[in-house]
Amino acid sequence: MATTAAAMAATSVVVLDRGNNTTCTINLHGATVVSWRVNNQEQLFVSKLASFDGKKAIRGGIPFVFPQFGAWSFGPQHGFARITRWHLERPPDRLHNGDVEAIFSLMDNDFTRSIWNYQFRITYRLILREKELHFHIGVYNPSKELSFTFNMLLHTYLKVPDVRRCQITGLQGCHFIDKTRENALYQEGREVVTVNEWTDRIYQHTPQEHVITNVVSGRKMRLHKYNFPDTVIWNPWVDRSREMSDFGDDEFPNMLCVEAGNVTSPVILLPGTAFEASQILQQFKCPYTIDPSSCRKKNYLTNFLQYD
Ligand code: TA6
């Protein structure tokens, strides 16, 4: 019996529910995280014009970019992973400490091989904690003789009340490719980066941690990354917003993309080897303005490391 579109759509969404109105929703189309709610507050931006037709990439949440970042002569912009249906490897499961975990996977198939003729297997483990969302990614090359090279990036759309009030730490001194200025290379001089115009920058060799201020309800978001050397900062502002059919002309003030990835230094994966990377998003409230380190309490560090 053919699976109806409705049935397909219905079985395309997986919800991790930790209780206390803290949930994470993943669409199997691209294993795109389409919602992360902490105490009933949505942390991620999804456009009101986003398409959920199971074909186009979802405009918002956290699309999974692989094996190509950006334009691609062999296939779709930002690769095929975000427009391919993933498999639910392990359904949501409550862990001993109350956290909820689920595992998704993607393997090569006729469609992917028609674009990129390599065998691969990706596992994507998501863990929903009280105020944190953990992403653990493994890429495996099962081939006996062929290596392959790939980009990988988590295209995180943060929901913000007003992007002009956001500040991003951890980019000072880093070189960046500015896609708004013919991909010229510059060096960031600011202690905190702000966004007040069309911004599309690939920051290279960035530190493991960024703090974004003034996200939902004035809180802060800590992004901690491992084995993701680059950070992309993007906001389409006025003109680019109008060019996107799945993005409202008035929505740019309410989103900020801070994307951890392997962009400028693609990963080479030898036969029979694996690559791992991870990201942790932590929403926190801190009375101190910019210097998040003064918010750091001992137990934060112990908590952070227990899953690595
Ligand atoms: O990650 C930033 C970026 O590469 C921008 O250049 C912009 O194109 C954005 O991604 C969105 O790309 P998309 O293919 O989703 O329209």
Instruction: Out of 27-36, 150-159, 244-253, 295-304, pick the least confident.
Output: 295-304
Give yes or no for residue 58 CB within 6 A of ligand 1. no
Q: Which residues are known binding-site members for substrate?
A: 59, 77, 82
Contact in structure between 174 and 205 (CB atoms under 8 Å): yes
pLDDT (average), residues 199-209: 98
What are the φ/ψ torsions at residue 128 (nearest 5 degrees)? -95, 120
The rounded Å distance from CA 81 to ligand 1 centre is: 15
Contact in structure between 177 and 264 (CB atoms under 8 Å): yes
Q: Tokens standing for 106?
A: 């993607």
Ligand 1 atom closest to residue 70's alpha carbon, by position in its atom list: 4
Contact in structure between 64 and 81 (CB atoms under 8 Å): yes
Residues annotated catalytic, as ranges: 155, 259
pLDDT number for residue 299: 47
* Residue 297: Cβ-neighbour burial (10 angstroms; 0-12, 13-18, 19+): exposed
The rounded Å distance from CA 53 to ligand 1 centre is: 19
Give yes or no for residue 57 CB within 6 A of ligand 1. yes
- For the chain, the C-alpha Rg in angstroms (whole number) is 19
Give yes or no for residue 175 CB within 6 A of ligand 1. no
Q: Is the pLDDT of residue 159 over 50?
A: yes
pLDDT (tens digit per residue) in 84-109: 999 999 999 999 999 999 999 999 99
Give the Å distances, CA to CA, from 262 to 155, 178, 181.
11, 16, 21
Give yes or no for residue 188 CB within 6 A of ligand 1. no
pLDDT (tens digit per residue) in 219-243: 999 999 999 999 999 999 999 999 9
Q: Which residues are known binding-site members?
A: 59, 77, 82
236 upstream amide cis, omega within 30 of 0: no
Instruction: Out of 91-100, 273-282, 292-301, pick the least confident.
Output: 292-301
Q: Is the pLDDT of residue 15 over 50?
A: yes
Ligand 1 atom closest to residue 78's alpha carbon, by position in its atom list: 14
Q: Is the pLDDT of residue 71 over 60?
A: yes
Give yes or no for residue 64 CB within 6 A of ligand 1. no
pLDDT-derived band at 288, boundaries 50, 70, 90? low
As a CATH number, domain 13-284 is: 2.70.98.10
What integer best gives the mean pLDDT of the chain? 92
pLDDT (tens digit per residue) in 121-146: 999 999 999 999 999 999 999 999 99
pLDDT (average), residues 50-57: 95
Q: Is the pLDDT of residue 45 over 90?
A: yes
Residue with CA closest to ligand 1 atom 6: 200
Q: Is the pLDDT of residue 273 over 80?
A: yes
pLDDT-derived band at 305, boundaries 50, 70, 90? very low
Residue with CA closest to ligand 1 atom 2: 234
Give the Å distances, CA to CA, from 275 to 104, 162, 222, 266, 278.
16, 37, 24, 12, 11
pTM for this prediction: 0.93
Ligand 1 atom closest to residue 57's alpha carbon, by position in its atom list: 15
* CA gap 141, 120 in Å, rounded: 5
Q: Is the pLDDT of residue 254 over 70?
A: yes
* CA gap 9, 54 in Å, rounded: 8
Q: Is the pLDDT of residue 7 over 70?
A: no
Q: Is the pLDDT of residue 300 over 50?
A: no
Tokens 């709610």: give the residue.
37
Ligand 1 atom closest to residue 155's alpha carbon, by position in its atom list: 1
Q: Is the pLDDT of residue 303 over 60?
A: no
pLDDT-derived band at 302, boundaries 50, 70, 90? very low
Q: Is the pLDDT of residue 215 over 70?
A: yes
pLDDT number for residue 294: 55
The letter for the amino acid at 76 is P
Instruction: Give the residue from 255, 227, 220 showing the smallest Cα distance to 132.
Output: 220
